[in-house]
Structure 1
Amino acid sequence: MFTNLQGKKYVVGLVHLKPLPGTPLFNEGDFELSMEKALKDTQALLDGGADGCLLQSVDKIYPSTDDTDYARVSALAVIAHEVRKLVGSRDFKIGVQLMWNCITPSLAIAKVCKADFTRCTALIGTTPSPFGTINADPLKVMSYRRSIGAEQVAMIAEIQGYHFKGDYDSGAIRMYANSAKTVGADAVEVMHKDEELNNRIVHDLKTVSGSLPVVLGGGTDLSNVTSRMKEADMALVGSCFENGKWGGNIDPNTVKEYVGLVRSIKV
């Protein structure tokens, strides 16, 4: 999906789901609510002119490893299947992500449901998290990706942001980007709350020879998107589309306004 980014900046909305079956905070009825929300939010993104969605589990308590409960995988697969049916043949990208770093289960869902991409908290490196240290295992990921024929499922690798933590260092950022590319990433994701530093990180990554597309993993809204997205290639958008109510319903009017601002940026 990242081969055709040249000349266009992508806007992808985060679809935040309820806790899924197989997780500690799941309650009966949550699956049905998640399905309803996923379809309504996807339609809102379509109506607002967004380029895609990322179906993201919000289970609040997560494993620190790459593996997860079978029921959780099955639930997201069913939801992703229905979202794919809703989207149909329209050019609208669908992503799936089982948090915190369940990359291989997410690849499996994407392959079976014909989703376009997944987001990887730690495809390379190590990062702390509230649920324990997250250790990347790119050999396992890439071996599994090949074994199920999921090379066409794109992988966004976080290297600085909400989930992959680390102090800013220009050399380290470039090294992480090159390492991510080596192990099969199709794009790298960054985010810093300080806009000036955020833009400097993006600029650093755009100067890497043969650089990957750069995704902003949050931090954008209607007031700053034109400046934050000046050099970036894609934005993952959560609370802005939910009108500041994280986990709420996506507002198609906000999506339309945001997309209009992004389309106004000169590439």
Structure 2
Amino acid sequence: MTQIANTSSNAIRDIFGTGKVLIGMIHCPAFPGAPRYAGGGTDAIYDACMRDAEALVEGGMHGLVIENHGDIPFSKPEDIGHETAAFMSVVTDRINRAFSVPLGVNVLANAPIPAFAIAMAGSAKFIRVNQWANAYVANEGFMEGRAAEAMRYRSLLRAEHVKVFADSHVKHGSHAIVADRSITELTRDLAFFDADAVIATGQRTGNTATIEEIEEIGSATDLPVLVGSGVTRDNIAEILERTSGVIVASSLKEGGVWWNPVDVKRVRAFRAAAEPALEA
């Protein structure tokens, strides 16, 4: 493989101190300003996020990603209100102060600039970006890669320590508009645009990437590869054999659905299923 980016470090090992990681997802309830916000103040939102964080950490997750998944339907990056960054910064800071695990931030839809701001405000170690390079048609409409403006903003904040975990062949969309570029090429573009880790996903939330796609992404890059959707205790061992880790959400929730609270028993069972692959 011809190296196309000057990346010598391993973001997973640098952030987590180990080669394979389990990262749990905090699906924040709808914030004020989003259609599904039910009113009644923000304490209930913060409390729900803290309860999920506690269950994930207690159950054995190495880190957490904080995401505004309750803000459905998601806005395009230029339409996201300042209130979203404000509330997510509070959530991130509270979780950071309470739990000694690395944190990441994902602002939907595809908004790395507020994610960098939140990461700096809340001492997060990385952001997740669904479309870092190229462009695609998503639920929200036409979505462009945000790498150029986002990396300049990161420099402005002096936030070079905040790493970028970028999806390849991103879910919930038609990829690269006319689909004339392979997954290999899309993955290599992420490294060329200075991403620090690559995430494989399925077609939508809770849907896993195929083993063939995971292997194709892994063979296209020297960056750490994670799977960010559809991971369960039944497939975690097979996935960890081929990757540096996973970002997991729905399968750890009550009933296995994303909008329910995290079930610490499910988290413990997931960690137990992953343990042999983590120790390999």
Matches within 5 A, 1:57-68: 57=68, 58-66=70-78, 68=80
Matches within 5 A, 1:25-40: 25-29=36-40, 31-40=42-51
Mapped partners of 1:131, 1:191: distance in 2: 18
What is the match of residue 98 of structure 1? 107
What is the match of residue 210 of structure 2? 198
Q: 2:90 aligns with which of 78, 90, 93?
A: 78
The one-letter code sitting in structure 1 at the alignment partner of 2:59 is: G
The one-letter code sitting in structure 2 at the alignment partner of 1:226 is: A
The one-letter code sitting in structure 2 at the alignment partner of 1:41 is: D
Mapped partners of 1:250, 1:25: distance in 2: 20
Is 1:232 paired with 2:243?
A: yes
Per-residue deviation, 1:67: 5.3
Q: 1:18 touches 1:31 (CA, 8 Å); kept in 2?
A: no
Mapped partners of 2:48, 2:152: distance in 1: 34
Mapped partners of 2:18, 2:77: distance in 1: 37
Q: Deviations over 1:233-252 (max 9, x none)?
A: 11111111103132211112
Q: 2:65 touches 2:103 (CA, 8 Å); kept in 1?
A: yes
Relative to the length of structure 1, the TM-score reads 0.89
Is 1:166 paired with 2:178?
A: no
Count of aligned pairs between the two proteins? 261
The one-letter code sitting in structure 2 at the alignment partner of 1:141 is: A
Mapped partners of 1:56, 1:137: distance in 2: 18
What is the match of residue 59 of structure 2? 48
Q: Deviations over 1:42-70 (max 9, x none)?
A: 11111111111111102002222355211
What is the match of residue 247 of structure 1? 259
Name the SS for the 1:38 alignment partner.
helix
Structure 2 unaligned segments of length 5 or more: list them.
Answer: 1-10
Name the SS for the 1:128 alignment partner.
strand
Per-residue deviation, 1:93: 1.5
Per-residue deviation, 1:30: 5.8
Mapped partners of 1:61, 1:180: distance in 2: 27
The one-letter code sitting in structure 2 at the alignment partner of 1:253 is: K
Mapped partners of 2:218, 2:73: distance in 1: 35
Per-residue deviation, 1:117: 1.2
Percent of residue pairs identical: 20
Per-residue deviation, 1:7: 5.9
Q: 2:125 touches 2:162 (CA, 8 Å); kept in 1?
A: yes
Mapped partners of 1:98, 1:108: distance in 2: 11
More moved, 121-130 vs 59-68: 59-68
With over 3 angstroms needed to count, the CA separation of the structure-2 counterparts of 1:30 and 1:249, relative to structure 1, is farther
Mapped partners of 2:54, 2:180: distance in 1: 39
What is the match of residue 181 of structure 1? 191
Mapped partners of 1:187, 1:165: distance in 2: 22
With over 3 angstroms needed to count, the CA separation of the structure-2 counterparts of 1:83 and 1:116, relative to structure 1, is same
Mapped partners of 1:112, 1:65: distance in 2: 19
Q: Deviations over 1:55-101 (max 9, x none)?
A: 110200222235521111101111111111101xx3x1211111011
Mapped partners of 2:188, 2:197: distance in 1: 11
Matches within 5 A, 1:150-161: 150-161=159-170
Per-residue deviation, 1:125: 1.2
Mapped partners of 2:170, 2:261: distance in 1: 24
Q: 1:24 aligns with which of 35, 45, 48?
A: 35
Is 1:15 paired with 2:26?
A: yes
Name the SS for the 2:85 alignment partner.
helix
Relative to the length of structure 2, the TM-score reads 0.85
Name the SS for the 1:127 alignment partner.
strand
Q: 2:226 touches 2:246 (CA, 8 Å); kept in 1?
A: yes
Is 1:208 paired with 2:220?
A: yes
The one-letter code sitting in structure 2 at the alignment partner of 1:176 is: L
Mapped partners of 1:239, 1:217: distance in 2: 11
With over 3 angstroms needed to count, the CA separation of the structure-2 counterparts of 1:229 and 1:161, relative to structure 1, is farther
